[in-house]
Structure 1
Amino acid sequence: MAIPESQLEIWANPGSQDKYKDAHESIRKALDAYGWPNGKPTYDIYLQGSYKNSTTTRSNSDVDVVVQLNSSFKQDLSRLSQHEKDAYNRDHSDATYRWDDFRGDVFNALNTKDSLTVNQGNKCIKVKTPYLDADVVVCMQYRFYEKYLNSTLNNYIEGMAFKSNGGWIVNYPKQHDKNGTLKSKNTNGNYYPAVRIFKNIKSKLIDKNIINKEQVPSYFIECLLYNVPYSNFEARYGNTIRNVLSYLNQQDITNFKCQNGITSLFGDSPDQWSAKNARNFINKTIELWNNW
């Protein structure tokens, strides 16, 4: 017996969107009020993750806030010719204010506010606000250059980079959001409800001790579904889930890309998924679907 449409309708609806804007704003105000010891750098604050793209579920709590340093940046010049690389190197010098400095300042800025409780995490700063708990990812701008003639005639894809366990993690949250919005438009709005359903299925499987939470990050579920063709997403949720599972069960998923369209979804780096864990999630979801 398949999962009833009535249950899928419940899972398709987003969780509460209340308070995340207030949490975001409390962090922004703390940074604005800080007396930056080396002068205020240029930075952006923006949301990423489920609150940004409306794929929250009822089990969501923490809001992901990115604080991105823009006055210094990391770069990838691998697509450039040697002539373009030489031009880039002539126009740029090493920054004196780096990611480590910025992360220290952001932590101090947040820690000075009595309304916030702040703790150091591995990949992020953990902040308890009066509204929602927040994972604050402190990063610097990352530029994946596709062309470079000079400081005004160039083209790059903007990402972000931060250190974790001594190594750099690179991601493209703005590209992720842009591609997800386009996918939603091209599926008549049926993409994001499907993502929410699969995230809720994940929670159900965890509650039943069928899968391990750490092996199926919600971000990777969204990226997995991003690789499914538009035509599989229908207005009736049962048809969509059946189509998606059928497609994934027949595909070699190892070549899938993340929703940013740039990085590979599967691999051995800390910001990639295990194909074995993904295949297990697909199989267990099929079993749940068939044996509801």
Structure 2
Amino acid sequence: MSRNWESTFSSWAQGPSATEQERADNAERQIRQAIQASDKLKNREIRVFTQGSYRNKVNVRQDSDVDVGVLCFDTYFPEYPDDNVKTEASKSFVPATYEYATFKNELEEALVARFGRDAVSRGSKSFDIKANTYRVESDVAAFFEHRRYTSATRYLSGVEMIPDDFKPPMVRNWPEQHYQNGVSKNDETHRRYKRVVRILKKLSNEMAANNISSAKETPSFLVECLVFNAENSCFNYTTYKSMVRAVLAYLFNNTMREEQCSGWGEVSELKYLFRASQPWTRTGAHQFLSDAWDYIGFE
């Protein structure tokens, strides 16, 4: 008997349960309490925020951990469009006295004091905090503000970290712009965009569990960004199966050649989706889309 994909997709489209969301909120709250209890950090300008799939409401059950950013504004990393802007903007700079490495070490001390040494492990990019019955597992990343200057007095505000192993030398992201653009896309598609993201993430997880290599190599973040680049008209259907078909067809057709998707961006629209600096490729994404189409059994 053939699979009832509409029923499956309807189940997969659902957002996180109230219990899942509460455990994610508890993790964020406890990390904020760790900062407030630290004599070294409590008086610094710091914002604790959920990022990633939980924040953007596109998490599925396999997304077991919540990504939490700890952003310090006391020091920032600047980026300039040219030397003229750099020269003009630098006139108002005050040399930094608080270094990123110091901030990350002090954050580790605060997390260990709050959760215990056994519950906190340090990775190159983030700290892992083990889950319990009250909170989900958390990946906690330390950030300084990243400022992308567009003129000597105007800039876009993002986040930047320096991995311990310098692989890569730095990581820059735009969580607020990602969140806002995701909300706008969801509104424009009558709240269908995020449902289709959840469906394709669940589909990818199932394909990976069945040893389909393209799914194993496709991060959930890339799935989210691909769906973001589908035209809004792809979501103008009354069934999930029709929506998924339209989205996959659009993305497959437009990733066949580089020139068709060279201008695509991440959800933030501040980083190109397919560039050499990304850990994925257009051809890999195209293969995943092809395999997803075949896995469902579309004609």
Normalising by structure 2, what TM-score?
Answer: 0.89
Residue 3 of structure 1 and its aligned partner are, at CA, apart by 5.6
Greater relative CO (CA pairs within 8 A, separation 6+): 1
Contact 2:49–2:68 (Cα < 8 Å) also in 1: yes
**CA–CA distance in structure 2, aligned partners of residues 188 and 265 of structure 1:** 25
Equivalence for 1:236: 239
Equivalence for 1:151: none
Query: In the superposition, relative to structure 1, how do residues 197 and 95 fare at CA in structure 2: closer, same or farther (>3 Å)?
Result: same
Contact 2:214–2:288 (Cα < 8 Å) also in 1: no
Equivalence for 1:202: 204
> Structure 1 counterpart of 2:91, which letter?
R
**Paired residues, number:** 283
1:118-157 maps to which residues of 2 (within 5 A)? 118-130=120-132, 131-148=135-152, 154-157=153-156
Equivalence for 1:25: 29
Equivalence for 2:78: 75
Equivalence for 1:281: 288
After superposition, give the CA deviation of every residue in 1:216-267 in whole Å (9 maximum; x if it has no partner): 1111111111111111113421111011111112113343211110111122
Contact 1:119–1:125 (Cα < 8 Å) also in 2: yes
Query: In the superposition, relative to structure 1, how do residues 5 and 101 fare at CA in structure 2: closer, same or farther (>3 Å)?
Result: same
After superposition, give the CA deviation of every residue in 1:69-120 in whole Å (9 maximum; x if it has no partner): 1111001111x571x3322111103311021111111011001124571101
Contact 1:257–1:263 (Cα < 8 Å) also in 2: yes
The percent identity for this pair of structures is 27
Query: In the superposition, relative to structure 1, how do residues 28 and 214 fare at CA in structure 2: closer, same or farther (>3 Å)?
Result: farther
> Structure 1 counterpart of 2:120, which letter?
V
Residue 272 of structure 1 and its aligned partner are, at CA, apart by 4.3
**CA–CA distance in structure 2, aligned partners of residues 129 and 201 of structure 1:** 26
**CA–CA distance in structure 2, aligned partners of residues 284 and 224 of structure 1:** 15
Query: In the superposition, relative to structure 1, how do residues 214 and 155 fare at CA in structure 2: closer, same or farther (>3 Å)?
Result: farther
After superposition, give the CA deviation of every residue in 1:39-68 in whole Å (9 maximum; x if it has no partner): 832111101111101111122210000001
Moved over 4 A (4+): none
Equivalence for 2:51: 48
Equivalence for 2:92: 91
Contact 1:264–1:272 (Cα < 8 Å) also in 2: no
> Structure 2 counterpart of 1:91, which letter?
S
Q: What SS does the corresponding residue of 2:142 show, helix, strand or coil?
A: strand
Unaligned runs of at least 5 residues, structure 1:
149-153
Let me know the Cα RMSD of the aligned residues.
Answer: 2.0
